[in-house]
Amino acid sequence: MGMSTTGMSTESWRRRTEWPMIGASIVFLSAYAFNVLAQPAGASAQITATTMTLTWGLFAVDFFVRLALAEQRGQWLLRHLHELAMVVLPLLRPLKLLRLVTLFGVLQRSVGTALRGRVVSYAAGSTILLILVSSLAMLDAERGAPDAGITTYPDALWWSTVTVTTVGYGDYAPVTTTGRVIAVGLMVAGIALLGVVTATLASYLVQRIGEEDEANQAVTREHIIGLTAQIETLRSEVSALRETRLTEMAGER
């Protein structure tokens, strides 16, 4: 049914676990970045791997709890197949870093309630996060491959930036299957974000034009009302003069 035996819904679970999951995402991001950039060995590598495994386990528990609490589990699962893939497939585990996107949804409450402001902040935050995450994932996938061109984080960061902005200079390109999957995902995300920015700008321009048009129409209405009042006054004066003239003519007779 719509509720579990404890009376909790998917939405209430999401609200309760929002900040803990954001914290887990930040821990996962930190551990993953340390693993990719520092390439730890020995005890450090073991601690990093354990941290990533534990936080990934939290993501898995969160997914299956939300599935169990969903009203229509089949439909909910179809809408969240990408999350299931991220939980099940080791190849996509780095994409769980995208859970940090929810952080911007929480922070939006402090920057205002205007829809356009929320969209802009969400798009900007998502873009920065996508660039950072895809850079780490690409470096992790490409660094050890033969003939790889992306072997340092600055190179990966440059590649992610030109890819997400749909520029694509072509000076760096992935050579591994994992790298190409990451590239496809980043290109699709870049196109989507570009569409959001374009639509937001168009909406802003349309609103400004509409506001100016409404202001102009208000001024025009005021002018019309003023002219109408003047015409009525003139009519009254003309009628008064006419009555006076008729009276004078009758007196002369």
Say how many residues make up the chain.
253
Q: Buried b vs exposed e over 1-27: b needs ≥16 C-beta within 10 Å?
A: eeeeeeeeebeebeeebeeebbebbee
The predicted-structure confidence for 33-79, as pLDDT tens digits, reads as follows: 899 899 999 999 999 999 988 988 888 898 899 999 988 889 998 98
Q: What is the predicted pLDDT for the residue at 194?
A: 76
The predicted-structure confidence for 134-161, as pLDDT tens digits, reads as follows: 899 899 889 888 888 899 999 999 999 9
Is residue 58 within 8 A of residue 23, CB to CB? The reply is no
Average pLDDT estimate for 184-189: 86
DSSP 79-90: HTHHHHHHHH-G
Q: What is the predicted pLDDT for the residue at 98?
A: 58
Residue 44: phi, psi to the nearest 5?
A: -60, -40
Q: What is the predicted pLDDT for the residue at 4?
A: 44
What is the distance between the alpha carbons of residues 173 and 160, in angstroms, rounded to a whole number?
10
What is the distance between the alpha carbons of residues 88 and 82, in angstroms, rounded to a whole number?
10
Q: What is the predicted pLDDT for the residue at 95?
A: 59
The predicted-structure confidence for 211-242, as pLDDT tens digits, reads as follows: 777 777 777 888 888 888 888 888 888 888 88
